[in-house]
């Protein structure tokens, strides 16, 4: 997460060359994601009280939706830094409330039709009591269509990953339930792609 924030700041720093100065921006984004690959890494005490380490990866396809609200700062003609939050699903069981930051870089100009790229990351709260707070990261390419009167329509296609920490789980190899008291560490990486559309002001 720290490396991602550094990348965001570097990209924005290179882009700050606007004579107009910064201004606030707002956007509402909604879309759909397709999770397709999951990696689980767990360390726990087994029934004989030995420390067991397991790693398992699998193809798991699942479709989710999301709605995000963005409040941004236009720091240059070609760059925008945004705080975003909302509701987002990952995989079959993770329903989260992300709060994070992302930046967009426009190839031509933020007030013109054209291509742009976005990178971002967030901390997530989850409604699942068996899962601790996690993190997400995403990157996308997009196309902006100016509608007029300061309104733009953005289309995005990108890749995302979500990290969650289950408090308890069923071990893939033994098919035994591992209670929270036996869990030393647990990671589940959910990877997928997404498409979205947003109205930006």
CATH for 103: 2.40.160.20
Q: What is the model's pLDDT at position 16? A: 47
Contacts of 141 by beta carbon, 8 Å cutoff, 6+ apart: 115, 116, 117, 118, 156, 157, 158
> Count of domains in the chain?
1
Rounded distance between C-alpha atoms, residue 41 and residue 189, angstroms? 9
CB 53 within 8 A of CB 43: yes
| Boundaries of domain holding 75 | 2-200
Rounded distance between C-alpha atoms, residue 112 and residue 134, angstroms? 36
CB 40 within 8 A of CB 57: yes
Rounded distance between C-alpha atoms, residue 5 and residue 26, angstroms? 21
Rounded distance between C-alpha atoms, residue 119 and residue 75, angstroms? 16
Q: How confident is the model at residue 27 (pLDDT cuts 50, 70, 90)?
A: very high
Q: Is the dihedral of CA 40, 41, 44, 46 positive or negative?
A: positive
CB 141 within 8 A of CB 158: yes
pLDDT tens column, 127-175: 766 677 789 999 999 999 999 888 999 999 999 999 988 888 899 898 9
Q: What is the model's pLDDT at position 17? A: 47
Rounded distance between C-alpha atoms, residue 121 and residue 160, angstroms? 9
- Determine the distance from the C-alpha atom of residue 127 to the mean position of all C-alpha atoms in its chain, rounded to a whole number: 17
Contacts of 91 by beta carbon, 8 Å cutoff, 6+ apart: 35, 38, 60, 62, 64, 162, 190
Is the per-residue pLDDT at 99 higher than 60?
yes
pLDDT tens column, 46-98: 888 899 999 999 998 999 999 999 999 998 889 999 999 999 988 887 788 99
What SS3 state is found at 126? strand
CB 178 within 8 A of CB 184: no
Burial class (CB in 10 A: 0-12, 13-18, 19+), 48: exposed
């Amino acid at each position: 997460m720290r490396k991602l924030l550094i990348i965001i700041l570097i990209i924005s720093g290179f882009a700050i060359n606007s004579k107009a100065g910064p201004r606030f921006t707002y956007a509402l984004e909604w879309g759909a994601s397709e999770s397709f690959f999951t990696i689980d890494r767990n360390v726990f005490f087994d029934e004989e009280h030995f420390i067991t380490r397991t790693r398992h990866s699998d193809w798991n396809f699942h479709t989710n939706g999301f709605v995000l609200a963005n409040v941004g700062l236009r720091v240059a003609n070609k760059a925008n830094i945004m705080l975003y939050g909302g509701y987002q699903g990952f995989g079959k069981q993770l329903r989260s409330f992300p709060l994070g930051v992302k930046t967009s870089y426009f190839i031509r100009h933020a007030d013109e039709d054209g291509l742009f790229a976005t990178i971002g990351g967030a901390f997530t709260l989850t409604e699942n009591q068996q899962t601790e707070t996690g993190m997400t990261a995403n990157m996308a390419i997009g196309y902006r269509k100016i509608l007029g009167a300061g309104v733009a329509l953005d289309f995005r296609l990108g890749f995302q990953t979500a990290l969650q920490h289950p408090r308890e789980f069923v071990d893939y190899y033994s098919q035994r339930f591992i209670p929270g008291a036996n869990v030393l560490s647990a990671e589940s990486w959910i990877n997928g792609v997404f498409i979205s559309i947003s109205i930006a002001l």
